[in-house]
């Protein structure tokens, strides 16, 4: 929940500063849905990671590394066409790619495609289902 709230605050501040700087963007209604989808997907991934590690401190480190690796391997900081072959392959299965594509479209006033919304929703459902199922509830 902390990470999700932090993400919402950071995205809001980013959009506010972009607006104050005169950046031209037009927020489409699909952007908040995509942001919520990626937050839920990462929450599920966090549950999976913390279920597989021996203690909380290692879980925090492993989760931070997972987030960094997923973002760096997904074509978020570079174009999909210019990515190395391995990164292109990983980009096809990374929910960050679909979120980034949809948010890019949403900030330009276009609607995210149904495939981006569907893939991100599916990733959120799968990660949360697996994460809740394997979480060691008695250890909490």
Decide if 105 is inside a domain.
Answer: yes
Q: What's the total number of domains in the chain?
A: 1
Report residues of the chain scoring pLDDT below 70. 1, 138-140
Decide if 16 is inside a domain.
Answer: no
**In sequence order, which residues have a C-beta less than 8 Å from that of residue 84 and are 6 or more positions away?**
none
Decide if 88 is inside a domain.
Answer: yes
Q: Where in the sequence is the domain holding 38, given as residue range(s)?
A: 27-133
Q: How would DSSP label each residue in 35-62?
A: HHHHHHHHHHHHHHHHHHSSSHHHHHHH
Decide if 138 is inside a domain.
Answer: no
């Amino acid at each position: 929940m902390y990470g999700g709230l932090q993400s919402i605050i950071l995205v809001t501040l980013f959009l506010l500063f972009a607006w104050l700087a005169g950046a031209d963007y037009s927020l489409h209604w699909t952007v908040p849905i995509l942001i919520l989808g990626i937050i839920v997907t990462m929450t599920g991934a966090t549950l999976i990671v913390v279920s597989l590690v021996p203690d909380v401190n290692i879980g925090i480190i492993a989760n931070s590394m997972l987030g960094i690796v997923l973002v760096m391997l997904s074509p978020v900081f570079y174009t999909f066409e210019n990515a190395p072959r391995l990164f292109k392959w990983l980009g096809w299965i990374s929910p960050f790619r679909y979120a980034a594509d949809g948010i890019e479209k949403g900030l330009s006033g276009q609607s995210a495609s149904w495939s981006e919304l569907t893939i991100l929703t599916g990733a959120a459902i799968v990660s949360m289902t697996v994460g809740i199922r394997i979480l060691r509830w008695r250890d909490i």
